[in-house]
Amino acid sequence: MEYTHLGRTGLRVSRLCLGTMNFGPHTEEPDAHQIMDVAHEQGINFFDTANTYGRQVSLGRTEEIIGNWFAQGGGRREKTVLATKLYGDMGDWPNEGRLSALNIRRAVEASLKRLGTDYIDLYQMHHIDRATPWEEIWQAMEVLVAQGKIIYVGSSNFAGWHIARAQEAARARNFLGLTSEQSFYNLLERTVELEVLPAAEAYGLGVIPWSPLNGGLLGGVLRKEREGVRRVSGRAASVLADKREQIQAFEDFAAELGQEPGDIALAWLLTRPAVTAPIVGPRTLEQLHAAVRALGVTLDQKALARLDEIFPGFGPAPEAYAW
């Protein structure tokens, strides 16, 4: 396993991050525990979750599954860089969601209890809260750091402007501020290259891409469709209808290279500026092993250029949309 620093921090994390969103709704607890054990065996030390994950079963269920796994001991907690998130509503009453100081305090205590730990390594804001001032947010986070309940703070789904505002407000308080940004980023969805990635690079944030295979569309979906092992519906079907020609060209190119499409998609992300670790969210052990396999794929400049031809990015801002 390869390791790298999370942004400008001294924290070392694996180049793959284990996403746990499927634990509970799609992966039963014993299977989830086995996936986490094998992730450790493969050297993955970076796990990501959120307080709202598992809500199809019960709110907080995914954190509970992770907490039960930690309770088995064997250094499971100590070997894990644990990231969780807050923002989404955890109830119907006011102040049970978003980023007020009150909800930050309540949400972290609830997550700590479900996770069965006394600290969270990376506490992430799942979305920007435009109604709460940064002075309030940072004061609440500073208290949690001082109490030892969290170590680092991260963001998710922030725009470049939000990152800049957050970091300048933190700078004024002599606070470390954000250390990472979790964004929707893959070959099919490269919007963050316009503003978010440059902001992350400028402020020293590690980028943690979520949905690196775009809901499976970069995982050989057309081949699986022909083999009758996958049927696409909903948003994925709409994207597939619009991008079928590109996706077919991508799968053909992966075949030329003798690699699985999903391995190419993950390997490409690992070449991107500021990217620390894509989040892989396996439902099964087979999917976990497939993600780890991607670490062995090397893409030369010719291959990277061909991928840019198939899935053109936007180029740097503002030149991408202005002179």
Convert the pLDDT of each residue in 191-205 to its tens digit.
999 999 999 999 999
Residue 69 lies in domain: 3-310
Instruction: Report residue 12 CA to chain centroid gap.
Output: 16
The CATH number that applies at residue 27 is 3.20.20.100
Is 217 within the bounds of a domain?
Answer: yes
Structure confidence at residue 323 (pLDDT)? 86
Residue 266: what pLDDT?
A: 98
Q: What is the pLDDT of residue 148?
A: 98
Query: How would you list the strands of the sheet with 150-156, edge to edge?
Result: 206-210, 178-184, 150-156, 120-125, 81-86, 46-48, 17-19, 279-280
pLDDT for the residue 235: 82
d(CA 71, CA 58): 20
Task: Give every residue of the chain whose pLDDT is below 50, as ranges.
Answer: none
Residue 323 lies in a domain: no
């995982």: which residue's tokens?
Answer: 219
Question: Which residues does residue 182 pair with via DSSP β-bridges, in sequence order?
Answer: 156, 208
Does a structural domain hold residue 302? yes
The answer to whether residue 319 is domain-embedded is no
315 within domain boundaries: no
Whether 88 is covered by a domain: the verdict is yes
User: Which residues are identified as catalytic?
Assistant: 53
- Whole-angstrom CA distances from 224 to 27, 218, 251 are 21, 11, 11
Write down the pLDDT at residue 77: 98
In a domain, 318, yes or no: no
What confidence score (pLDDT) does residue 316 get?
A: 86
Q: Give CA–CA dist 136/115, Å, rounded.
A: 26
Residue 42 lies in a domain: yes
Look at the chain and report how many structural domains it folds into.
1
Beta bridge partners of 23: 27
